[in-house]
Amino acid sequence: MFAAPFDYARPKTLDEALSLLSKHGDEARLLAGGHSLIPAMKLRLAQPRLVVDIGRLDGLRQIEARDGRLAIGAMVTHAEIAASRTLADLCPLLVEVASAIGDLQVRNKGTIGGSLVHADPAGDWPAAILALDAEIEIAGPQGRRTVTAGAFFTGILETAVKPGEILCEIRVTAAAASAYVKTEQKASGFALCGVAAVVDATARRVRVGITGVAPVPYRAAAVERALEGQALAEGSLAAAAGQAAAGVTPLADIHASADYRAHLARVNTARALQRAASR
Ligand X SMILES: Cc1cc2nc3c(=O)[nH]c(=O)nc-3n(C[C@H](O)[C@H](O)[C@H](O)COP(=O)(O)OP(=O)(O)OC[C@H]3O[C@@H](n4cnc5c(N)ncnc54)[C@H](O)[C@@H]3O)c2cc1C
How crowded is residue 158: how many other Cβ atoms within 10 Å of its Cβ?
A: 12
Asked if 159 interacts with ligand X (CB under 6 A), we say no
> Looking at residue 253, what DSSP letter applies?
-
- If the CB atoms of residues 17 and 277 are measured against ligand X, the closer one turns out to be 17
Sole binder of ligand X in the list 35, 207, 261, 263 (CB under 6 A)? 35
Note whether 71 and 27 are within 8 A (CB): no
Asked if 34 interacts with ligand X (CB under 6 A), we say yes
Cα–Cα distance between 112 and 124 in angstroms, integer?
10
Asked if 102 interacts with ligand X (CB under 6 A), we say yes
- If the CB atoms of residues 189 and 242 are measured against ligand X, the closer one turns out to be 189
Supply angle C-alpha 127, 131, 132, rounded to 5. 115
Query: What is the SS3 assignment for 191?
Result: strand
Asked if 111 interacts with ligand X (CB under 6 A), we say yes
Asked if 29 interacts with ligand X (CB under 6 A), we say yes
Sole binder of ligand X in the list 17, 18, 21, 36 (CB under 6 A)? 36
Q: Give the nearest distance from C-beta 101 to ligand X in angstroms.
A: 4
Sole binder of ligand X in the list 98, 127, 160, 161 (CB under 6 A)? 161
Sole binder of ligand X in the list 114, 121, 217, 250 (CB under 6 A)? 114
Asked if 124 interacts with ligand X (CB under 6 A), we say yes
| Interaction residues for ligand X, span 211-250 (CB under 6 A) | none
- Among the listed ranges 16-24, 85-93, 160-168, 212-220, the one in contact with ligand X (CB under 6 A) is 160-168
Q: Give the nearest distance from C-beta 234 to ligand X in angstroms.
A: 29
Per DSSP, helices labelled H in 133-257 are 149-152, 221-227, 234-241
Asked if 30 interacts with ligand X (CB under 6 A), we say yes
Residues present in the chain in total: 279
Sole binder of ligand X in the list 18, 21, 37, 223 (CB under 6 A)? 37
Specify the pairing of strand 191-200 against strand 178-184: antiparallel
Asked if 179 interacts with ligand X (CB under 6 A), we say no
Q: Please name the amino acid found at residue 154.
A: T
Cα–Cα distance between 205 and 220 in angstroms, integer?
13
Asked if 101 interacts with ligand X (CB under 6 A), we say yes
Which residues is 194 bridged to in the sheet?
182, 211
Cα–Cα distance between 184 and 228 in angstroms, integer?
30
- The b/e string for 59-80 (b: 16+ C-beta within 10 A; e otherwise) is ebbebeeeeeebbbbbbbbbbb
Contacts with ligand X by CB under 6 A lie at 29-37, 74, 101-102, 106, 110-111, 113-115, 117-118, 120, 123-125, 161, 166-167, 188-190
